[in-house]
Amino acid sequence: MSTTPLITADLVALDLEAADRDEATRALVDLLHAQGRVTDPDGFLADVRAREAQMATGMPGGIGLPHARSVHVTVPSLAVATVPAGVDFGAPDGPATLIFLIAAPAEGDGDHLTILAALARRIVRESFRTSLLEAPDAATVAEIITREVVLP
Amino acid sequence: MKFVGVSSCPTGIAHTYMAAEALEQAALAAGHEMHVETQGAAGSVALDPQLIAEADAVVFAADLEVKDRERFAGKPIVDVGVKKAVHDPTAVIAAAVEAAEAEVARVAAGGAAAAPVAAPATKVSANAGTGARIRQWLMTGVSYMIPFVAAGGILIALSFMIGGYEIVDTDIVTDVIEGFSITSSLSWGALLFHVGAATFAFLVPVLAGFIAYAIADRPGLAPGFVGGALALVVGAGFLGGLAAGFIGGFIALWISRWKVPKGVRGVMPVVVTPLIATFLTGLAMLVVVGPPLKAVSDGLTSWLGGLSGSNLILLGVLLGLMMAFDMGGPVNKVAYAFAATGLTAAGTAALAGAPEFRIMAAVMAAGMTPPLGLALATAVRGALFTEAERENGKAAWLLGASFITEGAIPFAAADPLRVIPSLMLGSGITGGIVMAFGSGLRAPHGGVWVTPLISQPFGFIVAVIVGTVITALAVILVKGLRRPPATDAVVAGQEDRSAVTA
C-alpha cells in the first residue's frame, strides 16, 4: 500500500474566501496541483465540474463535496477548506462552510478507494464535521482526518 | 424493524457511502436495524442472504442499476435516489417503515406473502478474484441456458416416448406443418421432437451470449450469441460456445474501452461495438477455431475407423471417454457418428451380437450416464451445487434416461475442469462394461425407451447404473475438495467491509 497520506497540512485552506463554488473548488485544485497530486489543474477542474453538473454535491450540515475520478490525478487525495462566509454548493439547507475536494485517480486501487469510502461515511457524522470546523490550524485538520480515516 | 438497502452513485466514491452511513444512522436513531450494500468504486460486499431474508423492507438509494436486484424479490421496496438518502435519511426510513407495515397488513388480509425467487447468480461483483469472476461469467451463461436445456430435453424425451426413436427421421414440413393429424401419435411425437430440437439449437448461442453479456454487458450480447451460433456451425459444441462467449465478451469489452470522440460515443454501445465485435468474433470462430477443429475431427474419425476389430472392451472405454468429453462437440460427434454409421453399414440382417450393435450400445450407455450421474449427485449432495444446478438436476434424470447427453452441459459449462473428467470416468467405465456384457443395440437414439431393441438388456442397465454411481461419486469428490469460489468472494469482501466501518 502507498505511503502517501490522503491529506497533509499543505492541502488545508482555513478561512477561505470564495465568491462561488467554482472559485472555491479552483482554490483547492491549485493546492493539489502545487503538491504534484494533480498534473493538469484545468483538466481536473473540468472533470469535477462535469461531476457537479450531474448532481450538486452540497449536502445538509453545510458541506460541499466536489469530487471526481480523473486521469489527471496521480495520488488519491483530499483537500479541505473552511469558508466561514459560506459558498453555495446546491444543498437545500443553505451554503457550505466546509468543503472537501476528493481527487481519485481514474484507475483507483482498492485500498485507496476504501479509504475514500470511509471518509464519505465520516462526513455524514456531525461530530466529525464539528471537530474539523473547530480545529485551530491546518495541521490539526489533516491530523484529525488521517486519524479517523485509516485502514485498520 | 430490520432493513437492508443498496446505495450507488455515478462516481462511486462519495454519495454511495454517505447514503449508506446516513441511512444506517437514521435507522439506528429511529430504533431499527439496517445494513446497506455499497455498490461503489471500492467494490461491493454482497449482503448476507440471511439479512435479506429477515428484512422487513428494502431501500434502494441507487442512481445506478441495482446489481443482483432479484435477491430482493418479494420484499417491499422503497426506491429513492441516492440524493434523497443523503439529504433526508429520516424520511426514507419512515417510508421504509410504512412499506413494511403495508406489507404486513396485506399479508394479514389474506394476500400470500410473495415467495422469494431462487434467482441464479447472474452478475459479477467487481472485486472478486480472477477465478471467482471466471466462475461468475460461466454461471451467468449457464443460468440463462438451463431453461432451454430443460424445455428442449423434456420435449425430445416425450417425443421418444410417444413416437419411438424413429421420430428423429420425421420431416418438419411434411410430417408437422403439412401433415399434422390430431389423432396421430406420429404427428404429436414429430411436433414435440422438432420443437425440442429448435429449443436445443439455442443452447450454445445462449450460453455464449450470456457469458459475453456478463463480461461486457449489453455490447457483448450480439458477438456472444453470433459466436455461439457459429460454434455450432463449425461443430465446436458447448466448449466452442464457452470459447465464443469469452472471445466475444472480451472483444466487446476491449472496444468499449476505446477512447473515442464525443460525437461517436453515443453510438458506440448500440452500433459500433456490437458491429466490430461481432465481425471479429465471427472471424475468430470460422477462420481461427474452425479449420483445426475440422482437422482434429477428421483425424479422430479415421483413427477410430482403424481401430475396428481390435479389443472391443478397450474400444468401449475409449468411446465412452469421447462421448463425455464435450457432449455434442467434435469429439462426442466423432464417437457417435462412428457408432451410428456402423449401424447403417451392418444393416438389419446382422446378428444381435454383431460388433456394430455392441458399439452402438456402448455409445448410448456412455451418453446416458453424464446427466444421470449429475442428477444423482445433486440429489445426494445438493449443497455442492447452485440452486439453478439443483433444479436442472431434476430434469437431468429424464434427459439422461432418454440419451440426451446435453442435460449435463450446464454442469460441465459451469465448472468444466472438475465436471468433465468425472463424467469421462463414469462414461468410460460404462462403455467398457457394456462391451463386456456383450449388449447390442439396433437403434441410434432413444435411451430407456428403446430397451426392447437392446439384446442382453440386463447387462446394459447394470452398466448404466454403475456408470451413474461412479460419475456421481467422482463429481461429489472433486467438488468437495474445495469450497465453491462464490463463497471465497464473500469472505474476501467481508474484509473490505471491516475496513470501511473501522
* Under 8 Å between Cβ of B254 and B280: no
Would the pLDDT of B475 be above 80?
yes
pLDDT of residue A1: 44
Residue to mutate among A6, A124, A125, A127, with most B CBs inside 10 A, is A124
Would the pLDDT of A152 be above 60?
no
- Interchain CB distance below 8 Å, A102 and B13: yes
Distance (Å, whole) CA B24 – CA B18: 10
Lowest mean pLDDT among B99-113, B188-202, B409-423: B99-113
> Higher model confidence: residue B257 or residue A84?
A84
Tens-place pLDDT, residues B262-307? 777 777 777 888 899 999 999 999 998 888 887 888 888 888 877 7
Q: Which CATH number is A105's domain given?
A: 3.40.930.10
Closest residue to A69, CB basis, from B11, B17, B501 = B11
Would the pLDDT of B115 be above 70?
no
Q: Show the cell assigned to A139.
A: 495541521
Tell me which chain A residues have a C-beta less than 8 angstroms from the C-beta of B501.
121
pLDDT of residue B488: 37
Q: What's chain B's length in residues?
A: 502
Number of domains in chain B: 1
Q: Which CATH number is B48's domain given?
A: 3.40.50.2300
Q: Within B30-129, where are the H helices?
A: 49-54, 82-87, 89-108
Amino acid at A37: R
Of B271, B272, B226, B270, nearest to B248 by C-alpha is B226
Output B96-103 pairs: Cβ under 8 A, ≥24 positions apart.
Answer: B96/B1, B96/B3, B96/B56, B96/B57, B96/B58, B96/B59, B97/B1, B97/B30, B97/B32, B97/B57, B99/B57, B100/B1, B100/B3, B100/B56, B100/B57, B100/B76, B102/B76, B103/B56, B103/B57, B103/B75, B103/B76
pLDDT of residue B299: 84
Of B430, B385, B380, nearest to B405 by C-alpha is B430
Q: What percent of chain B has pLDDT over 70?
A: 89
Q: Show the cell assigned to B153.
A: 430435453
Residues in B whose CB is inside 8 Å of some CB of A read 9-18, 20-22, 25, 38, 40-43, 63, 83, 86-88, 127, 496, 498-502
Distance (Å, whole) CA B134 – CA B280: 22
Tens-place pLDDT, residues A33-53? 999 999 999 999 998 888 888
Distance (Å, whole) CA B371 – CA B391: 13
Of B103, B118, B96, nearest to B49 by C-alpha is B118
B30: in domain: yes
- Chain A residue with minimum CA distance to B495: A152
Exposure of A31 by Cβ count < 10 A (0-12 exposed, 13-18 middle, 19+ buried)?
A: buried
Tell me which chain A residues have a C-beta less than 8 angstroms from the C-beta of B11.
51, 67-69, 104
Q: Please give the residue range of the domain that contains residue B48.
A: 2-119
Distance (Å, whole) CA B41 – CA B14: 9
Q: Please give the residue range of the domain that contains residue A140.
A: 9-148
A1: in domain: no
Who's near B92: CB < 8 A, 6+ residues apart?
Answer: B23, B26, B59, B61, B78, B80, B84, B85
- Interchain CB distance below 8 Å, B17 and A91: no
Query: In this prediction, does ipTM exceed 0.90?
Result: no
Tell me which chain B residues have a C-beta less than 8 angstroms from the C-beta of A116.
13-14, 17, 41-42
B485: in domain: no
Q: How confident is the model at residue B227 (pLDDT cuts 50, 70, 90)?
A: very high
Residue to mutate among A113, A115, A149, with most B CBs inside 10 A, is A113
- Interchain CB distance below 8 Å, B10 and A54: yes
B242: in domain: no
Tell me which chain A residues have a C-beta less than 8 angstroms from the C-beta of B38.
117
What value does the mean pLDDT take over residues A4-15?
87
Beta bridge partners of B80: B61
Closest residue to B17, CB basis, from A69, A104, A121 = A121
CA distances from B312 to A45, A75, B173, B307, B318 (A): 77, 69, 41, 9, 10
B33: in domain: yes
Residue to mutate among A65, A116, A128, with most B CBs inside 10 A, is A116
Tens-place pLDDT, residues B235-268? 888 888 888 999 999 999 888 888 877 777 777 7
Tell me which chain A residues have a C-beta less than 8 angstroms from the C-beta of B10.
51, 54-55
> How many CA atoms, within 13 angstroms, populate the side-chain half-sphere of residue B215?
33
A4: in domain: no
Tell me which chain A residues have a C-beta less than 8 angstroms from the C-beta of B16.
117, 120
A94: in domain: yes
Number of domains in chain A: 1
pLDDT of residue B128: 56
pLDDT of residue B277: 93
- Our measurement of the distance from residue B22's CA atom to the centroid of its chain's CA atoms, rounded to an integer in Å, reads 40
Distance (Å, whole) CA B177 – CA B196: 15
Amino acid at B358: R
A140: in domain: yes
Q: Tell me if residue A33 is catalytic.
A: no
Q: What is the nearest CA distance from B413 to chain A, expressed in angstroms?
A: 31
Which candidate in A33, A67, A72, A112 is catalytic?
A67
